[in-house]
Amino acid sequence: MDNCINIPAELYADDAVCFIANRYHVTPQEAVRSFLVQSGVVSDIKGNKTFDFRFEENEIEILKGLTEVYCSKNEEKRKYI
């Protein structure tokens, strides 16, 4: 079973995420979900839209870095609330 992943809304508004999403004609949310599935962080969930594209290695690295940055910022905020 996959752990619940809390993706901060700021990640979806990031210029790089929006650029990559636009490149594949998907929403930023779909791009992040596809990245999480493609990188093995979560398994694909039945009923969710599947995509026929694969991110390039540099896009995976960009999304991985951004996910780590935004999620760690979100975790830090939670510690101080």
- Residue 47, Ramachandran bin (φ over 0: left; ψ between -120 and 50: alpha; else beta): left
Give 23-73 pLDDT, tens digit per residue: 999 999 999 989 988 888 777 666 566 778 899 999 999 999 998 888 776
Mean pLDDT of 77-81: 41
pLDDT digits (tens, 9 = 90+) for 40-53: 877 766 656 677 88
Model confidence at 1, in pLDDT bands (50, 70, 90)?
A: very low
Place of tokens 């996959």: 2
Q: Residue 4: its pLDDT value, please?
A: 54
For residue 17, give both structure tokens.
């995420």
